[in-house]
Each structure stands twice: as structure tokens, then as C-alpha cells.
């Protein structure tokens, strides 16, 4: 599922950054004046000290804003709901589109032009350096702000490329470490007949088989017609792949979510423990999902 978050900076924020830089320059000038005149003229020194103190207080109040903003990188695969058969792409919250973090590649200066659906998009992992930028196919909106949510295929195609931005390269290393945590376990999705896996896979197949006709009917009839006259617990959303009333959670932060339903996962893949993503049997994509897919590894 397109699930996590981190920060972005609006056009107004970049204007604020310019003001902050001017303020920093002013503070340095005041310091120089303060030192220069302190011994020459006591009254001037006092005036400089007062001005310096006021500007320093203002500077300290807004200084947190000058720290570099960075994006969070996540991985997702929500089965049949994943655009373009989950090819190599990115999704992100619409609030990012048209900012320094995500914009049309031909738009190099603010105000930035938005990325068009299903086209290459310039994405930047921080707001300070062009070296943090690359292009990726944009497939639409993700549900949480401040996040680039990539597919397993995106990582597969890019992690071996030495030219990728440092932020992505570091995240690829983290994904590989998470994948190794599953290597010593039996992969039940890849080993359906292993004695440790038979009951688990039987149950997963049963849930998927029961839900698939409902998913297909919802797709045929449309969500509005499908949901009509059904109790809310049986209604579907997000192109029929998710429940309409969220029953997931709450997690440690008190957040709840709509669960991905079993019929939405492609054949040979199964919805995870918390209904966040489809577990595929690929340790590189399942490992970073933690407890969501860990149950399929015994």
C-alpha cells in the first residue's frame, strides 16, 4: 500500500528560504559592526548590541525552517489496484506535484509545472541539490504526503545503477538488508507444498477465491452500483480493491486504514497480515514490509 510519509516544501517556503538567507547575512553584518565600533564608540556599541540581540532572536525563532527538507522512500504492491500492472513507477500525494520535489522535467525553475499522468517526472529526494534528482514514470496519486512510493520493479531496475542519487542508493541497501532477514526462512509462496506452508497457503487461497468474484463483480458493475443496497462492511472502494469502511489498525500512532482485500492480489500473491500490500514471495519486496508479509516466511 502507498502508506508512509515525509516533508515537502511549497513555493512560499522557498520564498521564505530566500528571506532567511538575507536575514543571516544581516546578522553577520551586525556582528561585524558590533565588533568594529565597540571600542571606538560605547554608545554605538550599545546600539549594535541591541540590534544584534533582536535580529539574533528572530533568526533563532525561524532557523528550523532553513534545514533541508527530504522525502521518504517506500515500496508498495497492491496487486490488481497497482497501475500499469505494477511496472517501474512512482506514486505520490498530489500536494507534491508541481513542487521542487516533483515536477515536469522541462520545468527547472519555480513556479514548477506539474507532472502529467503516465509520463516521466523529475523527482528530487531533497530540496538542496540537483544531485538528488532523477526521472521516474508517474502513475498517479498516493494516499500520504511527503512520500515517494515506488514499486518493486522500480527498485529492481534502478538499484543496480551506480548513477542513481545517493538517497536512493542508500535506501536500496536498506531494502537488501531487510530482504536478507527472510533468507533463512522457508518462503511459503515459493514453496507451496512445504509441510510448514500447506495450511497457511490453503487458507490464503481460500480467502482469495472467496473474494475474487466480488472484486470482479464490482469492477463490472462499478463501485456505486456494487455498493448499493449492501451493508457498509461489504462495500468496496479505491477501484474495488479496498474495503470502504476502514477496519485496519489502529497502529502505534493511532492511525487506521482501509484494508486491501484478498481478491485484489494477483494470482500467486496474497494479501498481507494487515491488509496493506500483496505479498509476492520476492524477498526484496516482502522484506521491507516487515510483519505484513513475514507470516508467509516460516
Q: What is the pLDDT at residue 18? A: 36
pLDDT digits (tens, 9 = 90+) for 31-75: 555 545 554 555 554 554 555 555 555 544 544 444 568 999 999
pLDDT digits (tens, 9 = 90+) for 1-29: 433 322 223 333 333 333 344 444 455 45
- First CA to last CA across the chain, in angstroms? 23
Question: CA 174, CA 166: separation in Å to the nearest integer?
Answer: 13
Q: CB–CB of 293/277 below 8 Å? A: yes
pTM of the predicted model as reported, rounded to 2 decimal places: 0.75
Query: Cell numbers 525552517 label which residue?
Result: 65
Q: CB–CB of 101/123 below 8 Å? A: yes
Other CB atoms within 10 A of residue 89 CB: 20
Query: Cell numbers 500473491 label which residue?
Result: 269
Query: Cα angle at 121 between 117 and 124, to 5 degrees?
Result: 140
| Residue among 93, 97, 77, 95 nearest 85 (CA) | 77
Q: CB–CB of 296/203 below 8 Å? A: no
Question: CA 126, CA 90: separation in Å to the nearest integer?
Answer: 16
Other CB atoms within 10 A of residue 116 CB: 11
Question: CA 58, CA 80: separation in Å to the nearest integer?
Answer: 52
Mean pLDDT of the chain: 84
Query: Cell numbers 509520463 label which residue?
Result: 119
Question: CA 298, CA 290: separation in Å to the nearest integer?
Answer: 14
Domain coordinates in residue numbering, the chain = 11-66, 72-183, 198-294
Q: What is the pLDDT at residue 68? A: 67
Question: CA 108, CA 290: separation in Å to the nearest integer?
Answer: 38
Torsion sign over Cα 34, 37, 42, 44: negative
What is the 3-state composition of the chain as percent helix, strand, coil, each rounded to the nearest 5?
45, 15, 40
pLDDT digits (tens, 9 = 90+) for 203-254: 999 999 999 999 999 999 999 999 999 999 999 999 999 999 999 999 888 9
Q: Is 62 helix (H, G, I), strand (E, B) or coil?
A: helix
Amino acid at each position: 500500500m502507498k502508506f508512509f510519509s515525509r516533508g515537502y516544501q511549497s513555493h512560499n517556503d522557498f520564498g521564505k528560504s530566500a528571506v532567511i538567507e538575507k536575514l543571516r547575512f544581516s546578522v553577520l553584518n551586525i556582528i561585524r559592526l558590533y565588533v568594529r565600533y565597540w571600542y571606538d564608540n560605547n554608545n554605538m556599541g550599545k546600539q549594535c548590541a541591541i540590534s544584534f540581540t533582536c535580529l539574533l532572536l528572530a533568526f533563532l525563532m525561524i532557523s528550523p525552517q532553513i534545514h533541508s527538507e527530504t522525502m521518504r522512500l517506500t515500496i508498495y504492491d497492491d496487486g490488481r489496484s497497482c497501475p500499469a500492472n505494477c511496472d517501474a513507477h512512482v506514486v505520490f500525494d498530489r500536494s507534491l506535484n508541481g513542487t521542487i520535489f516533483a515536477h515536469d522535467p522541462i520545468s527547472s525553475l519555480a513556479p514548477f509545472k506539474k507532472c502529467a499522468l503516465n509520463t516521466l517526472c523529475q523527482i528530487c529526494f531533497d530540496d538542496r541539490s540537483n544531485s538528488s534528482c532523477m526521472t521516474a514514470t508517474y502513475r498517479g496519486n498516493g494516499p500520504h504526503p511527503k512520500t515517494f512510493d515506488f514499486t518493486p520493479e522500480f527498485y529492481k531496475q534502478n538499484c543496480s545503477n551506480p548513477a542513481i542519487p545517493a538517497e536512493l542508493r542508500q535506501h536500496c541497501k536498506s531494502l537488501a538488508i531487510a530482504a536478507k532477514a527472510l533468507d533463512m526462512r522457508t518462503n511459503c509462496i515459493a514453496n507451496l507444498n512445504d509441510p510448514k506452508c500447506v495450511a497457511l497457503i490453503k487458507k490464503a487461497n481460500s480467502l482469495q477465491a472467496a473474494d475474487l468474484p466480488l472484486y470482479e463483480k464490482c469492477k463490472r458493475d462499478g463501485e456505486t452500483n456494487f455498493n448499493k443496497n449492501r451493508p457498509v462492511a461489504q462495500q468496496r472502494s479505491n477501484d474495488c480493491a479496498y474495503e470502504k469502511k476502514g477496519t485496519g489498525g489502529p497502529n502505534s500512532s493511532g492511525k487506521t486504514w482501509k484494508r486491501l482485500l484478498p481478491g485484489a492480489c494477483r494470482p500467486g500473491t496474497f494479501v498481507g497480515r494487515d491488509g496493506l500490500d500483496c505479498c509476492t514471495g520476492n524477498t526484496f519486496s516482502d522484506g521491507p514490509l516487515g510483519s505484513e508479509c513475514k507470516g508467509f516466511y516460516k
